Amino acid sequence: MDELTRLSNRRGFESLSGHAEGDRALISFSTILAENFRESDVIGRLGGDEFAVFLTNTTAAERATVLAHFEAAVNTYNRASKRGYDL
């Protein structure tokens, strides 16, 4: 809280605005990742909104198919969620 104005200061403002929606976006994206890759694949959040997937035992042709399927799942989510932004 800003002492002079009695309004949220920068830290308070950032805490109250955006974080909840950002957290929902991260959880939604991680759910899509988990649902569209195999248990043998390694999925990780590197930090912030950066994720990586290591596809195990996957050929280049299979990789293209897997990534197309994942992209379709993200697009389906974006159309259905109507949150005002896309993942």
Distance CA 47, CA 42 (A): 15
Q: Count Cβ neighbours within 10 Å for each residue of 21-51 and write b for 16 or more, e otherwise.
A: eeeebeebbeebbeebbeeebebeeeeeeee
Higher pLDDT residue, 68 or 22? 68
| pLDDT band at 54; cut points 50, 70, 90 | very high
Q: Note the pLDDT of residue 11.
A: 86
pTM listed for this prediction: 0.78
Domains of the chain, each with CATH number or no CATH: 10-81 (3.30.70.270)
